[in-house]
A and B are shown apart, each in its own frame.
Chain A
């Protein structure tokens, strides 16, 4: 999957349940990002990490949590505090933290609340 792998492809969550979305990259990229995409809308930033053991909130971080214990991995947990989690989640990475690096995206995880 082009060096960045998201799993699972489809995920179903029950009310009140926490779920974790996986994102792994073998591109040796420093920076990683999580975006949420709703139908007919653009990509909204949830969290990002520019270096191991460090991450920052994006525009819509409430109800989500992340960790960055390894350079290759940036898992996203959707907690029960996120009241409307049904969406398409995209993970991305980029080579550096300076200006002018394009993102490589994973193939996405489609999360549905049942």
Chain B
């Protein structure tokens, strides 16, 4: 079955720092790849996605590129803000369902 490994958190950064959250996956077939975000006190929401190799998903300044050769989908942002503090989940799609990682908590300080 599919599985995903995310870097452990919390990741603590100062405002305007560069962010990378690593995600690698194992999957049967050719999954779509997703990043979901959970802001404090809120439900999960889709942040970005990519559906084929070398696709780059982007949203709100975040980017992730579908790397089939390394089975990775690392999340990056050039300059984080305090409002980016949240838990980020990487999720490859399996057959008819997503497989979520354990999540990486990001804490951004002013």
The judgment on whether A and B are partners is no
